[in-house]
Amino acid sequence: MRPKHTRKNKALALGRMKAGKMNNTEKAYAERLKLLKCAGEILWYKFEGIKFRLADNTFYTPDFAVLAADGVMEIHEVKGYWMDDAKVKIKVAASLYPFRFLAVKKKSKKSGGGWSVECF
């Protein structure tokens, strides 16, 4: 018997993007960051620009490093949906490093679109 194909299973089957390549959600968020930079709300951003060591042989590369207009360095992790391991990594990184860590999730069009943000 074949497993039932769901949207989530199909997405997981595709695997991760190669390092340095953005998925569609990350591309959409990069456009948002571009607009925020033009508006003066952020000064700089870089995709996969920082890599954090969490423990021996355990690393975390967030989606975006962002320098806010107030001079605070922010780490933005962009997700369509969250897997448990990703949430654990951002929480551990937030406990170890002196940056503002934000989890950014794309809202569905049904929910009004845009982005929801959670701080760690």
Q: Is 45 exposed, middle or buried (0-12, 13-18, 19+ CB in 10 A)?
A: buried
- Asked whether residue 20 carries a pLDDT value surpassing 70, the answer given is yes
C-beta of residue 85 within 8 angstroms of C-beta of residue 93: no
The total of structural domains in the chain comes to 1
Enclosing domain of residue 55: 23-119
13 band by pLDDT with thresholds 50, 70 and 90: very low
Q: Which of 120, 107, 117, 113 is nearest to 80 (CA)?
A: 107
C-beta of residue 14 within 8 angstroms of C-beta of residue 30: no
* Residue 31 pLDDT: 98
Give 21-50 pLDDT, tens digit per residue: 999 999 999 999 999 999 999 999 999 999
* Residue 4 pLDDT: 56
Quickly count helices (H) and strands (E) in the chain: 3, 7
pTM above 0.85, yes or no: no
In a domain, 4, yes or no: no
Question: CATH number, domain at 47?
Answer: 3.40.1350
Give the DSSP per-residue string, 51-71.
-EEEETTEEE--SEEEEETTS
19 band by pLDDT with thresholds 50, 70 and 90: confident
Give 66-93 pLDDT, tens digit per residue: 999 999 999 999 998 888 888 999 999 9
Long-range contacts formed by 10-14: CB under 8 A, 24+ apart: 11/80
In a domain, 18, yes or no: no
